[in-house]
Structure 1
Amino acid sequence: MEDLSPTDLKTILHSKRANMYYLEHCRVMQKDGRVLYLTEAKHENQYFNIPIANTTVLMLGNGTSITQAAMRMLAQAGVLVGFCGGGGTPLHMACDVEWFTPQSEYRPTEYLHGWLQLWFDDTKRLDAAKKFQNARIQYLEKVWKKDRELKTEGFDFNHDAIQNALNTFRKRTEEASKQSELLLTEAQLTKVLYKYAANNTDIADFTRQHQSTDKANDFLNHGNYLAYGLAASCLWVLGIPHGFAVMHGKTRRGALVFDVADLIKDALVLPWAFVCAKENATEQEFRQQVLQAFTDHKALDYMFDTVKQIALQTYSDEHIEANNL
């Protein structure tokens, strides 16, 4: 087989790609110029194709292996590969995913340059954090007002409890003088959203616990890691290292992934985790529902647009033009 140029497999922009895969108990391999995964059925082995040119993230769960040839093709297509625990949630500490990012020396530089210009300035970094916080609310409003299924399930953006919480959130965000105050404000809003969702779906005595075994908490963990996969893919494409966070602290590895994922978690992952828990859905049914919601509401597009806008806010047209020469 002839080696493919990475550009041969990047005709679909990352922000427009439709697929994320979570695989378990299978072997991922290259065969006849395609990436396949092999499952062992009772009477025969079964091969399934992975359309890598239209895929952003591949998550490998329990009982998986991958060949060197498959990794090479995935890297050429710009697909992020992550090893994780069952259902997309890591086995250890439940706080991180190890991402294997494809290596390319020809990613854009203007976004990294712009990001570093703001990141090393405390005032600009705080301003960027506030922009992230406001962007997550704008996305929440956009999704909850538009999504008919969520409206049917009783998620009303104009509900008094939501509006009161958002008014407080906006006021405290605007007045915040450091990141820790933003994080506290974020936690208070999320607590209100959890309570609203639990009441709305008749889930009694809900408490957010990352190590819990109830379905609502399990689905929140699972959906959040799918969002982390999108965020990691967005940042890799733009060439911004995951360590340059604006919200979650300078010392936490990969914290910028959490910042970017937060743009969509409240709007999509949170409500569907409670709805699917109420309906006693399976893990696969929840995953399909959330991934479809990501696609319907262009979650990855929104991540790209927000990060690019913030990165370039202090980056002059002259720098961009000079980079393109």
Structure 2
Amino acid sequence: MEQLNPSDLKAILHSKRANLYYLEHARVMQKDGRVLYLTEAKNENQYWNIPIANTTVILLGTGTSITQAAMRMLASAGVLVGFTGGGGTPLFMGSEIEWMMPQSEYRPTEYMQGWMSFWFDEAKRLEVAKQFQFARIEFIRKVWAKDRDLQAEGFYLDDQDIIQALTGFEKKIPHQSKVGDLLLAEAQMTKQLYKIAATRCKLSFERNPEQGDLANDFLNHGNYLAYGLAATTLWVLGISHSFAVMHGKTRRGALVFDVADLIKDAVVLPWAFICAKEGMSEQEFRQQLLQKFTEYRCLDWMFDQVKNQSLSYKR
């Protein structure tokens, strides 16, 4: 079998890659120049190919293992590998997803240097945080305006409660003088969107990551998939996760949360409620969400926003 060069594996831009994998009870290995995962069926073992050149993230859940040779190939293709709890989310409160990042000396320096050109200036950092929030609202409008599936579930962009939630937050953004105030305003909008989604889906809901009901579980699960896309975006652009603009400056991965917020409310939030209403399984929810991530080019949106902001103050 013809062996692929590492340069061939990187031919598909990360923002254009289609696949995000979550695996449970599987062994990931390299065989004949390909990366495979092995599952144990009742009477036989089954091998499945992973198209690594078209994959952004692999999440390894419970009961998984990976070989050194497979990690070497995944690293050469620039695929992020994360170890998570069951269903793509941590099993215990306070535990964090652990990312294994491909190590490359040839990632771009332009975006990290641009990010650092403003990050140490508190006023500029706040301005970038505000621009992220404007982009967040823009993406909600972009997705909800044309998604017929969402409209079939009652999510219409011109409904009064949705207009009020989005425009109310949008008007507050320019007047916030501290990141803490911006976070509070953002939390109020998200709380309104939770209420809107729960009302549309006729669910009783209170946001509590450990509640254990389907809507909360799907929100947790979907958020971690969004974190995978955000971590991929930052790794490809060479920007350290440490330099957040909104979330806790003392938490090393906080910039991942900032970037994931660009798409969470637009895509993860409504579909967590809709799939909970339908009583879907975790696997069905995950498939639905990954389809929507691809349909609305969420990774593209993250790349564009992070690149634009990283270069906005660069001389």
Q: Which residue of 1 aligns with 2:260?
A: 261
Please state whether the residue corresponding to 1:48 is helix, strand or coil.
Answer: strand
Shift of 1:212: 1.4
Shift of 1:165: 1.8
Q: Which residue of 1 aligns with 2:201?
A: 201
Q: Which residue of 2 aligns with 1:245?
A: 244
Q: Which amino acid aligns with 1:179?
A: V
Listed one character per residue, the Cα deviations across residues 27-81 of structure 1 (whole Å, up to 9, x for unaligned) are 0000000000001111110000000000000000000000000000000000000
Q: Which amino acid aligns with 2:270?
A: P
User: Which has the larger displacement, 77-86 or 92-101?
Assistant: 92-101
Q: Which residue of 1 aligns with 2:132?
A: 132
Moved over 4 A (4+): 1-5
Listed one character per residue, the Cα deviations across residues 108-161 of structure 1 (whole Å, up to 9, x for unaligned) are 111000000110111110000000000000000000001110011111111111
Please state whether the residue corresponding to 1:22 is helix, strand or coil.
Answer: strand
Listed one character per residue, the Cα deviations across residues 223-243 of structure 1 (whole Å, up to 9, x for unaligned) are 000000000000000000001
Matches within 5 A, 1:89-108: 89-93=89-93, 96-108=96-108
Shift of 1:166: 1.9
Provide the aligned length of Structure 1 versus Structure 2: 315
Q: Distance in 2 between matches of 1:116 and 1:2?
A: 43
Q: Which amino acid aligns with 1:62?
A: T
Please say if residues 137 and 170 of structure 2, whose CA atoms lie closer than 8 Å, have aligned partners that are also in contact: no
- CA RMSD of superposed structures (Å): 1.2
Please say if residues 3 and 33 of structure 2, whose CA atoms lie closer than 8 Å, have aligned partners that are also in contact: no
Q: Distance in 2 between matches of 1:175 and 1:162?
A: 21
Please state whether the residue corresponding to 1:92 is helix, strand or coil.
Answer: coil
Q: Which amino acid aligns with 1:252?
A: R
Please say if residues 135 and 306 of structure 1, whose CA atoms lie closer than 8 Å, have aligned partners that are also in contact: yes
Listed one character per residue, the Cα deviations across residues 277-309 of structure 1 (whole Å, up to 9, x for unaligned) are 000001000000000000000000000000000
Please say if residues 94 and 210 of structure 1, whose CA atoms lie closer than 8 Å, have aligned partners that are also in contact: no
Q: Distance in 2 between matches of 1:127 and 1:270?
A: 25
Q: Which residue of 1 aligns with 2:284?
A: 285
Q: Distance in 1 between matches of 2:94 and 2:157?
A: 31
Matches within 5 A, 1:165-204: 165-204=165-204
Q: Which residue of 1 aligns with 2:142?
A: 142
**Could you state the TM-score of these two structures normalised by the residue count of structure 2?**
0.98
Q: Which residue of 2 aligns with 1:294?
A: 293
Q: Which residue of 2 aligns with 1:319?
A: none
Shift of 1:6: 2.9
Shift of 1:5: 4.3
Structure 2 regions of 5+ residues with no counterpart? none
Q: Distance in 1 between matches of 2:18 and 2:297?
A: 10
